[in-house]
Amino acid sequence: MATKYATVELLVPVDLHLSPGVHIGTYYSNKQFERFIYRVRPDGLYILNVRKIDERIRIADRFIASFEPSSVVAVGARQYSFKPVEMLAKLTGGKAILGGSCLAHSQILIYQGI
């Protein structure tokens, strides 16, 4: 019997999600997070559903594509987010904000040129 995902092609091959550990989640969960959980390992680690991740990336893609590239700002507060955020800004023509613990409203206004 075919599953509802049988005909859905992922944006990238599933191996590219699995090899760097994109599917590895956390030991903590909440009600909103449950729909993204594929399974729970015996040690209590939540494994994420890569198809749901792919689905959410597609939704974000459609939303971001509705704006002018120069008006899109990608924000990365953690060290491991810097490279992907910079790459997104470079490839799309948007802007990147890196570092800091909180993005203040005034920072957004500065990037908007207000």
Is residue 91 packed enough to be buried (19+ CB in 10 Å), middle (13-18) or exposed (0-12)?
exposed
Both tokens of residue 105?
Answer: 């409203």
Confidence of residue 114 (pLDDT cuts 50, 70, 90): very low
What ranges do the domains of the chain cover?
8-66, 67-114
Helix ranges (DSSP H) in 20-103: 50-65, 82-92
Q: DSSP label at 67?
A: S
- Residue 79's contacts (CB-CB under 8 Å, 6 or more residues apart) are none
Strands 37-40 and 95-98, how do they pair?
A: unpaired
Q: What pTM, to 2 d.p., does this model score?
A: 0.63
pLDDT tens column, 21-48: 666 677 677 787 788 888 888 998 888 8
| CA 88/CA 9 separation, integer angstroms | 23
